[in-house]
Chain A
Amino acid sequence: MADRCACEASEVLLFPCSGGSNCGQIANQAAVQLTGDNVVRICCLAGIGAHESVMLDTARAAKRVVAIDGCQVACARKTMEHAGIPVTDWVCVTKAGIVKAHEFELAPGEITLISQLVRESLARPIEERQRLI
């Protein structure tokens, strides 16, 4: 069992929220779906909240920092901002039209939709993205 953080530096880091609803879990699954190559990786949001130094360094070194929030309460984004890490891309599941509920049957189409929104956000230049938030 690893008792050290295994995060490696990467161009794009994904921080999905904790996921206490279907929307939060969709955010999480989208991040998992996107994590494949060495460019885009899911990272531990809780580590940022815990002020884990390795995590913070990794996040600061990334080219793009994506916060994927389940709903507009935006805990992931707020956590990053609280730790002083600039969020370059923010995707919100409820804003994408998915209805929040406290049940956990996730439709694959919804996960793919959020993944695609993240991809599109990454394909845009940062300044344009921040204008949209």
Chain B
Amino acid sequence: MPLVVDALMGGLNALKEYIALHVLTCLIPAFLLAGGIITFISRETILGYLGAAARKLSSFGIAAGGSFFVAACSCTVIPVASGIYHGGAGIGAAFIILWVAPAANILALIYTGQIIGAHMVLARIISALLMSLAVGLVMAYSFHREEKNRVSTIQMRGGPLMDKKGVALLLLLVAWLLAPSYLVTQGPYWQKVVVWAVGLVIVALYSGKVINREKTKDWLRESWWFVRVIFPLLLAGVFVVGIIGALLPSSWVAAWLGGAGLRQSFLATMIGAITYFATMTEAPFVHTLMNLGMGKGPALALLLTGPGISLPNWLAVARVFGVKKALVYVPTIIVLGTLVGWIGGFILD
């Protein structure tokens, strides 16, 4: 009985710590930013550039950079990667999108920064990009013979890449997002709320005066969609994380995942590689483990492979791209994740 009570209390405390304190100053601006990215940046144009790019490095760069903007919702990653691959894009580019989109998802990055800290987010972004380069090269090299005579017929789809006023709004949103944390480094929570409120007014005024009504409605609708779909999942995920945090013994975590060793990094990578993490839930999970004794290196590995791949994802990749490609991709991620965790552990500590 007391165990159940502990578990439930753990869940509720987690909800308080990870949600209640962050809804206003972090989550609302984050969802508005995600909605804005979908509305004001033409994803079709990015994919068009990607399909038209000559095979190797330029397509890798576009794929990696574009991934930040193309798939904010995890359910569309596989159709996008599959679509461009079967339309003729290079295998490296397709798998880079498959990897970067979930590993460096914009909402997850924001939340990670908020909960764990800027240094971890920076490490996560840099690692995801370095790993993507490695993934692209490994896939392209492993299948270079068949890549040689594939032809891309993806046409440049219409429209400009971005709308200037929209991009200004996005930058404003990013500033609004970062302001409470950076302007109020030491001080009570209410001061952050004040900064947030001022930011909200500025954003509202700007969008009211500069952005046209239709686009504003689209933007708000997309953002509301994130709130409706992702927020409940986040609540559920955080609750479960709280339960796990209450039940998991700290000694176990410190023994198996503490420090910066290769073994710990590998274990963290494997946990992340197999388990499915819904958008944003990896951040509170990793933070809880860090509080229980997990080292920064293994934490970094888990932040990447947790959302990046999962067992259901392995099967989907095998079904869509073929077993051979999945058998190259998944172990590559696991090896890279382990290395990143190990090396990152040294750098971060």
Q: Mark A51-89, 1 if CB is under 8 A from B, else 0.
A: 000000000000110000000000000000000000010
Q: Bound state CA distance, A7 and B344, in angstroms?
A: 57
Q: Bound state CA distance, A123 and B82, in angstroms?
A: 11
- The A-B contact count (CB < 8 A) is 46
Chain B, range 135-150, C-beta contacts under 8 Å to A: 145-150
User: Is A122 an interface residue when CB atoms closer than 8 A count as contact?
Assistant: yes
User: Is B263 an interface residue when CB atoms closer than 8 A count as contact?
Assistant: no
Question: In the complex the two chains form, is A119's CB within 8 Å of B87's CB?
Answer: yes
Question: In the complex the two chains form, is B153's CB within 8 Å of A122's CB?
Answer: yes
Q: Bound state CA distance, A39 and B54, in angstroms?
A: 12
Partner of B85, one of A40, A88, A123: A123
Q: Bound state CA distance, A37 and B150, in angstroms?
A: 17
Q: Bound state CA distance, A67 and B146, in angstroms?
A: 21
Q: Could you say which residues of chain A place their CB within 8 Å of the CB of B86?
A: 120, 123
Q: Could you say which residues of chain B place their CB within 8 Å of the CB of A126?
A: 149
User: Is A11 an interface residue when CB atoms closer than 8 A count as contact?
Assistant: yes
Question: In the complex the two chains form, is B151's CB within 8 Å of A12's CB?
Answer: yes
Q: Bound state CA distance, A128 and B143, in angstroms?
A: 13
Secondary structure dominating the interface of A: mixed
Question: In the complex the two chains form, is B147's CB within 8 Å of A125's CB?
Answer: yes
Question: In the complex the two chains form, is B153's CB within 8 Å of A128's CB?
Answer: no
Tell me whether A128 and B151 are in contact in the complex, defined as CB-CB below 8 angstroms, given that A120-B86, A123-B85, A123-B88 are known contacts: no
Question: In the complex the two chains form, is B153's CB within 8 Å of A40's CB?
Answer: yes
User: Is B212 an interface residue when CB atoms closer than 8 A count as contact?
Assistant: no
> By CB atoms of chain A within 10 A, which of B89, B150, B151 has the most?
B151
In the A-B complex, list the 10 residue pairs whose CB atoms are closest, starting with the nearest: A125-B146, A123-B88, A122-B151, A119-B153, A126-B149, A123-B86, A125-B150, A120-B86, A12-B151, A122-B153
A-B contacts, 22 of them at CB < 8 A, read: A12-B151, A12-B153, A34-B153, A39-B151, A40-B151, A63-B149, A64-B149, A88-B149, A118-B153, A119-B88, A122-B152, A122-B153, A123-B87, A123-B89, A123-B150, A123-B152, A124-B150, A125-B145, A125-B148, A125-B149, A126-B149, A127-B146
